[in-house]
A and B are shown apart, each in its own frame.
Chain A
Amino acid sequence: MKKPVVIVGSGLAGVTVARELRKLDADKPVVIVSADDGGFYSKPSLSNALAAGKSPAQLLLTPRETLAMQLKAEIRPHARVTQLLPAERAIEIAGGRTPRLAPAGRIEYEQLVLALGAQPIRLPIEGDGAAGVLAVNNLADYAAFRARLEGKRRVAILGAGLIGCEFANDLRLAGFAVDVFDIAPQPLGRLLPPVTAAFFRQKLAAAGVCFHFVAGVVRIERDGETFRLTDNGGGGHAADIVLSAVGLKPETALARAAGLAVNRGIVTARSLATSDPRIFALGDCAEIEGMVLPFVMPIMAAARALAKTLAGTPTDVAYPAMPVVVKTPACPTAVCPPPAGSAGAWREEATADGVKALFEDAAGRPLGFALAGSPAAERQALGEQMPAWL
């Protein structure tokens, strides 16, 4: 029998590769190896599910059995890949006594796709409460978070980046008291220039989000059912739940151990091939032509290109400029970062309703933008004017 395309990871990247491949090739055998139960859910929806009135169970869009049928793929749930064996064109899967774990074994592949995702970064924090800090990186984490929220009132969020701000807005809309801490002086520090950030901050603050900037949490202690947080200025804060959202680290351990080229992420060319021509990588684990882009649109673009390659037509990924939408209803926001290393400067135009910021080169050509408030509606039209990323 023909060996399958083996996809490790059943998140958006892995599932989309399989879905796009099926549009081009109905018969090629596909095996998807999943660390969780292998159903498909919308990860971007985790940070706005409260306002949308959705329970964790309702977020599961396609249960595993249905997904397997739709994709004509074998999905192996609760399987932990322990080793990649490029020389033997095989991977090894952990066994275990837990019945939920797939049996130990090896799977040989024709081509291997690494769609391993990323892991939440954990900050070093002192105190006996540090182990109680939650992070949400998948549907199971989210279900646990929602269960903990029952009957609670005060949530502390570590990190005022995209995910931290989205969760903060969502929790406020559901009536929780929300404190957000960040060592940076502004929200969305890596994405927004200062005037835009100030507008964003004011809108979220008006919605009731309590920001603490230039304030890293250094110590967390348990105080009965609650937590006592200490920031780097010595300030004390109380919370019932602490959620960490300080960023993601590409999952590279398997690739590194197998001798594949790894930098920040698993290194790939525009073909999405790693340093082994039969192994491909995409999504949050991959560094494609030097770019790590853990967002939906780049993943879809990469998955479409890779599906063509797997179906027999070698195809390089092309990235148009892809604006990122920040799902904060208190302040509609869209950001299209300028290509890394671009020379230029931000020009910010503020009105009562929002801020439109353009990143322009010396000749005044826009290379990127940040829009907060009513200008956010211009994101699509502006996005089409931006230079392609790849």
Chain B
Amino acid sequence: MTKYVCIVCGWVYDEAAGDPGHGIAPGTKWEDVPAAWSCPDCGVAKADFEMVAV
């Protein structure tokens, strides 16, 4: 499982956790997150996330 960080606010998308509040089930791979999804904290687009090494 990989994590991606919002470059604006630092919110982390963890594939293991998903984003159930916005219809992204736990275990959803980053490439399967819809392009229209945005950072739940600050609203930046999916394209503005970067992979983080953990």
Residues of B within 8 A of A16 (CB): 8
Q: Is the CB of A301 within 8 A of B43?
A: yes
Interface members, chain A 334-390 (any B CB < 8 Å): 377, 380-381
Interface centre among A19, A40, A296, A322 (most CB of B within 10 A): A296
Give Cα distance in the complex from A40 to B10, angstroms. Answer: 12
- Determine how close the nearest CB of chain A comes to the CB of B2; give it in whole angstroms: 19
Interface size class of A (residues with CB under 8 A): 20 to 34
Q: Which chain A residue lies CB-closest to B5?
A: A61
Q: Is the CB of A300 within 8 A of B43?
A: yes
> Is chain A's binding surface mostly helix, strand, loop or mixed?
helix
- Contact of A297 with B by CB under 8 A: yes
Give per-residue flags for B1-19: 1 if the beta carbon is below 8 A from chain A beta carbons, else 0.
0000001111000000000
Given contacts A296-B8, A380-B21, contact A44 B43 (CB under 8 A): no
- Contact of B44 with A by CB under 8 A: yes
Q: Is the CB of B22 within 8 A of A380?
A: yes
Residues of A within 8 A of B47 (CB): 23
Give Cα distance in the complex from A296 to B47, angstroms. Answer: 17
Q: Which positions in B face A, CB cutoff 8 Å?
A: 7-10, 21-22, 40-44, 47-48
Q: Which positions in A face B, CB cutoff 8 Å?
A: 12, 16, 19, 23, 40, 42, 44-45, 52, 61-62, 296-297, 300-301, 322, 325, 377, 380-381
26 cross-chain CB contacts under 8 A: A12-B8, A19-B48, A40-B7, A42-B7, A42-B8, A42-B9, A42-B10, A44-B9, A44-B10, A44-B42, A45-B10, A62-B7, A296-B8, A296-B9, A296-B41, A296-B42, A296-B43, A297-B43, A300-B8, A300-B43, A301-B43, A322-B43, A377-B21, A380-B22, A380-B40, A381-B21
